[in-house]
């Protein structure tokens, strides 16, 4: 259950982060989660 919530939060925040820095390897890791 927690993982779903985290993924949902990271999904919204991650999209903005990916748009700002696509070359950041950390973004790829977060997106993978």
Query: DSSP for 1-33?
Result: -HHHHHHHHHHHHHHHHHHH-TT-HHHHHHHH-
| Distance (Å, whole) CA 3 – CA 32 | 12
Report residue 22: phi and psi, to 5°. Answer: -75, -25
Q: What's the pLDDT at 26? A: 63
Domain ranges of the chain: 2-32
Reported confidence tier of residue 22, pLDDT bands at 50, 70, 90: low
Q: What value does the mean pLDDT take over residues 4-26?
A: 66
**Reported pTM:** 0.26
Q: Does 7 have pLDDT greater than 60?
A: yes
Q: What angle, rounded to 10 degrees, do the helices at 2-20 and 25-32 form?
A: 150
């Amino acid at each position: 259950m927690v993982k779903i919530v985290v993924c949902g939060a990271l999904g919204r925040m991650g999209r903005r982060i990916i748009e700002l820095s696509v070359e950041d390897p950390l973004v790829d890791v977060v997106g993978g989660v």
